[in-house]
Homo-oligomer: A and B are copies of this chain.
Amino acid sequence: MIIEIEKGFDETVVQIQEMVKSRDCRPDVLLGDLYTVIAVEGDATQLDAQYIETLPGVVRTWRISSPYKTISRRVVGDNHQKVVRERRSVNVPGPDGKIRRFCDGNFVFIAGPCAIESREQMEGISGQLSILADRYGIRDRLMLRGGAYKPRTRPWDFRGLGSEGLDIIERIRDRFGFPVVTEAMAVDQIESIGRKADMIQIGTRNFQNFNLLEAAGQSGKPILYKRGISAELEEWLSAAEYIALQGNKDVVLCERGVKSTTHGDYNRSHIDLDVILAIRNRTILPVVVDPSHSSGFAELVPYQFCAASVYPSNGAMVEVILDETERRSIRCDARQAVRMSVFEKMIRFRLDIEKIPQSFDSTE
């Protein structure tokens, strides 16, 4: 943390120095003509910038150390040395014994309906995905998704099958062997979802539902954690720290589009692909994208998916339907689901692009 103080407030300077030392940090004081700067070395997390800014003469403060140190990529270790941590591989073992790895150099396909609407629907989609998995050799890179509990903007809309949906997940896992991710909307759903699914999703609307985040952290399950619709990166990572602080670092971040002042009726939000690079730079966590919710339109989904493939993302979550007939019968987000035939093309594009040598490291 760096603190700028106007000249003539010596008492404040002394007060801050003592405060810094009491937190086991070291204050370096620079005396200038017009202002004094105190640079704090060490773990400044415990210092309250808001409080410091109320002291007489303090102009402002800049926080340098990370407010999310458990998941941060760079930390200050013992002996005040900077340490760059290894990126984390979040592993999701499936009922088939295979592990889906969200990690450097791997890309996981997550596919399924928006909401689980019936056993037949899940079986139909899972069967088709199973065929694709074998056709393209991606069984150990494929997961299923499907909502049992659905947050809906309006209370009048279909809100999921609830525990009946979880039972369907259970059967589908047994039959097809894929691991499944499904959303928890409330603390009291965590336990049953943890028992019946392989990964717990925390959705956009709950991005700062801190009690839910902590319960997810205590669940011991891998978490798929979506960005809030207008969340700044630092807000998102600070909230992810709520999960990690409970001892659970198996968190996969999921970019799902943000609000903008400019988008019209042609998409639902702006997908922020650059955040993939920022996340890799700042944290040890893997990151995936959700082009379905981000775009809101089936026609856009393949493009956002492929664009994300150009970035070092670790996977993508896509809502699929069997065909146009099914689109007309589903009750949730029908506009954004892609047909199985389109999803197959997306897989092919992804596999093709993996063969293109590409490295844009800024360090070379």
Q: List residues of chain A with CB under 8 Å of any chain B CB.
A: 2, 4, 26, 28, 30-35, 37, 39, 41, 45-46, 48, 50-51, 53-55, 62, 64, 67-68, 76, 80, 82, 151-157, 185-188, 205-206, 208-212, 229-235, 238-239, 241-242, 245, 258-264, 266-267, 270-275, 277-278, 281, 295, 298-300, 302-304, 306-311, 327-328, 330-331, 333-335, 341-342, 345-346, 349, 352-353, 356, 358-360, 362, 364
Contacts and interface: CB of A to CB of B under 8 A. Distances in A.
B262 A230 contact: yes
Contacts of A32: 28, 39, 41
A356 B360 contact: no
A360 to B, nearest CB: 4
A26 to B, nearest CB: 8
Given A232-B262, A303-B277, A306-B358, A335 B155 contact: no
Nearest to A238: B154
Contact of A310 (B64, B281, B307): B307
Contacts of A151: 208, 210
A245 to B, nearest CB: 5
Contact of A275 (B50, B266, B359): B266
Contacts of A278: 264, 266-267
Contacts of A307: 273, 307-308, 310-311
Contact of A185 (B41, B211, B299, B334): B211
Given A155-B238, A345-B360, A346-B360, 15 more contacts: A32-B39, A32-B41, A37-B39, A50-B334, A54-B327, A67-B154, A151-B208, A154-B241, A230-B261, A259-B262, A260-B260, A270-B270, A273-B307, A303-B360, A306-B310
A186 B334 CA distance: 31
A330 B342 CA distance: 47
Given A241-B154, A266-B278, A328-B54, A356 B353 contact: yes
**Nearest 10 A-B pairs (CB), nearest first?**
A230-B230, A205-B208, A307-B307, A266-B278, A302-B360, A299-B362, A186-B211, A30-B30, A306-B310, A259-B261
A270 B267 contact: no
Contact of A50 (B41, B259, B335): B335
A156 B208 contact: no
A41 B306 CA distance: 40
